[in-house]
Amino acid sequence: MAIPFFTHRALSALVTIPLVPGLAMADPGSGDPLPRLGQMTVTAKGYESAALETPAATVSIGREEILRRNAHNVGDVLRGLPGLAVASDGAQGQNPVIRGLKKESVVLLVDGMRLNSAQPAGAVASFMSLGLAERVEVVKGPASVLYGTGALGGAVNVLLPQARFEPGTAFDMAAGYDSAGTSGRGTGVMNASQGDHALMLGASLARIGDYDSPDGRVARTGYDSDSYIGQYRFRLDNAQQLRLSLQQHTDEDVWFPGSTKPHPSPAVDHTTVHSPRTRRRLAEVGYSRRGEGDHPLNLDLRLYRQEMQRQIFSWAEPLNRNLAETQVSFDTDGLDAKADWLAHPQHLLSFGMNVWQMGASPERYLASPTPLSPLVRNDPFQDARIKALGFYVQDDMQFGRLNVLAGLRHDTVQGSAAAMANPSGPGTITTGLDRSDRAVSGNLGAIYQAAPLLRPYASFARGFRAGEMRERYESSPRGDGFYYVGNPQVRPETACQIEAGLKGENATLSYALSAYRTRITDYITGRVTGAVHPSGAPIKATENIGRVTLIGLEAQARWQALPGHWLTLAYSRVRGDNDDLNEPLFQVPADELSLGWEGRIASGWMADATVRFVQKQDRVATVFSNGSENITPGFTTADIGATWNYDEAQSLRVAVKNLADEAYHEHLTEGVSGQEIKAPGRSLAITWQGSF
């Protein structure tokens, strides 16, 4: 008898372990690695599904791998994976880059709720409570059907612990130490349940010190980070639940060395951006219903509010004072409603609505008229708001061995502001600030199981990105030396991607290959005007200036060469072109290859080694960047480690990162050309985790 599609999906979810290059969890009794039977993801389709049934490129990193990497933020944990890179302006500022597209073109999510904020110095991705994460999922390529504006490059979703209806009280704990910056982290999660009540509480505290590179101590790379989460669930009956979730993440004393740049005043010499405190708070109330019968309808509703409070100051070292101080809270109110319905054994329909509004009124104080003058209020804009409303429908179709995924979405995005360009002073702009855009996104893909090791797929996806708040309303200097002028009437970008690939897996081999071509039209960027700002910086006007083309190839594989011993491979190559300027796209990651081994060396002991080869990046933009993007030399790093599973629920790991003490920086490291900060040198990392 054929197994219904929905039942097959539910059964497959019970026997899967993340398929990512990294450490296989070992059976403490035998030391043998457990088989990896497929990667599950909720981000790719909006509900839990197997990557082997998804016609798209995805990544899923479980908690064990996050702890194994001793990662401090999302950028850290994604570094070196196929199709992924990191744009960095400091130790805390590690923004994920997907297929050459940076932070403005990537939607960041926590438990499926987007982190909205304008994105100046620092990384919004660093405010995602990674120390508490159970899993980090990435969808590579346009994902606007599910996530709306901004998902041109894809989506990154950090999944935190959920309150579970498991009788009694359980504790999961972890601690880590890294000698590079004498850094420590401690994490604890408690789950308690009785009857129809379940409570989860978690905390993660980190004290990150200034780290050492092979060239010496890198000043101002340390910071403090505290995360707290909680969730209460009440079971109305076997099918319905109510939930209340709270999250708070705080980073203190964060500096962004990549923002250091010369100042035109001889008295100042240079400035550096820093943030004394940044805090993200989120509150969510939700309702879920699990369907029953032959055609179950599953429903999830949520109402949430997020406050992203940021302090962004510009420090003048010689003067021992700030030349600029900005305090702002990007407050987002959102409502999500989604459902999936097994309309037919071969059709799983999902549909939903997302509506959110983000508002901000920054308070900015500048030293005026000279760097020695007192700080005078000069706000970039006043009462700015971006509103978005989207509806989508998706059909997940199963025809024997063929799985077809088709989706369609319509969005309306509106931007408005009361005033911009110093609302309280001369030159105030109060007209022409409102704009409304409509966009249609879609995807169509198919994957066919010719054999367990041969699953070819092909897909087409269209996404869009409306201008963010900073691009619309803020005029300010940027890291490339230009003074950018905001444009309230900037049009949305649209991206179309064609992708083809192969996936496969059996008991000894798993692999994924993909090739893609992405064309972005109405590309939002800055046009050199030839004018000069009173500060002395040349001016770029934010405009839609043309097209961008990205072509890439990715590969990853994991092979059991001998019983208990696995070899891994990860490869990325992307080429980006600014078609308007006829030159390489600004800041495209270099080609790279990672080779790894992991295996059982004794009862309860697993060891591993990874070597990462990154090529020289000499395809740089010259016109667009005004000469600020320099060629980056290639480099090679090696990491080794061993994990001791001394108890069924506890393990201890010791690792050495950057074994050869290689002096290098990633190509996407921000900073004055030739003076970018170096990555951490050789360091000892110790990680413990346990459950009680």
Which of 528, 529, 530, 526 lies closest to 544 in space, CA to CA?
526
Question: For the CA atoms of 3, 62, 349, 165, what is the dihedral angle to 10 degrees?
Answer: 80
Domains along the sequence of the chain with CATH: 5-691 (2.40.170.20)
pLDDT, position 189? 97
* Contacts (Cβ under 8 Å, ≥6 apart) of 54: 41, 44, 45, 403, 405, 447
User: Hey, is 290 helix, strand or coil?
Assistant: coil
Handedness of CA 620, 626, 628, 630 (dihedral sign): positive
pLDDT in tens, 169-198: 999 999 999 998 888 999 999 999 999 999
pLDDT, position 423? 65
Specify which residues 311 forms β-bridges with. Answer: 327
**Higher local confidence (pLDDT), 446 or 17:** 446
What's 47's DSSP letter?
S
pLDDT, position 36? 43
What's 125's DSSP letter?
G
Q: What is the mean pLDDT of residues 435-464?
A: 97
pLDDT in tens, 333-350: 999 999 999 999 999 999
Question: For the CA atoms of 259, 260, 263, 266, what is the dihedral angle to 10 degrees?
Answer: 170
Q: What is the mean pLDDT of residues 115-127?
A: 71
**Higher local confidence (pLDDT), 547 or 2:** 547
Which two structure tokens, joined as six digits, stand for 7?
């039942």
In this structure, the strands spanning 483-485 and 538-544 are: parallel
Helical H segments across 372-528, by residue range: 469-473
pLDDT at 453 over 50: yes
Give the integer Cα–Cα distance in Å for 302 and 601: 48
pLDDT, position 426? 66
pLDDT in tens, 359-418: 999 999 988 888 889 999 988 899 999 999 999 999 999 999 999 999 999 999 999 999
- Backbone φ, ψ for residue 561 (5° rounding): -70, -35
* Contacts (Cβ under 8 Å, ≥6 apart) of 105: 98, 150, 151, 152, 153, 465, 493, 495
- Backbone φ, ψ for residue 346 (5° rounding): -105, 0
What's 66's DSSP letter?
H
Identity of residue 495: A
pLDDT at 27 over 80: no
Least confident segment among 166-180, 208-222, 338-352, 419-433 = 419-433
pLDDT at 478 over 80: no
**What percent of the chain is helix, strand and coil (3-state, nearest 5)?**
5, 60, 35
Q: Above pLDDT 90, what percent of the chain? A: 71
pLDDT, position 25? 34
Specify which residues 554 forms β-bridges with. Answer: 514, 572
pLDDT in tens, 39-67: 789 999 999 999 999 999 999 999 989 98
pLDDT in tens, 630-641: 899 999 999 999
Question: Do residues 464 and 448 touch, judged by C-beta distance below 8 A?
Answer: no
Which two structure tokens, joined as six digits, stand for 167?
């009788």
pLDDT in tens, 77-94: 999 999 999 988 888 878
Place of tokens 């509480």: 201
- Backbone φ, ψ for residue 585 (5° rounding): -65, 145
Give the integer Cα–Cα distance in Å for 636 and 550: 25
Bond into 369 cis (ω within 30): yes
Q: Above pLDDT 70, what percent of the chain? A: 92
pLDDT at 16 over 50: no
pLDDT, position 425? 60
In this structure, the strands spanning 455-465 and 84-88 are: unpaired
Give the integer Cα–Cα distance in Å for 155 and 114: 10
Which of 578, 665, 667, 664 lies closest to 630 in space, CA to CA?
667
- Backbone φ, ψ for residue 317 (5° rounding): -60, -50
pLDDT, position 210? 93
pLDDT in tens, 599-608: 999 999 999 9
User: Hey, is 256 helix, strand or coil?
Assistant: strand
pLDDT, position 483? 79
Burial grade of 669 (CB within 10 A; 0-12, 13-18, 19 or more): buried
**Higher local confidence (pLDDT), 670 or 614:** 614
pTM over 0.85: yes
**Higher local confidence (pLDDT), 167 or 483:** 167
User: What mean pLDDT, rounded, does the chain reach?
Assistant: 89
Give the integer Cα–Cα distance in Å for 340 and 231: 24
Residue 678 binned pLDDT confidence (cut-offs 50, 70, 90): very high
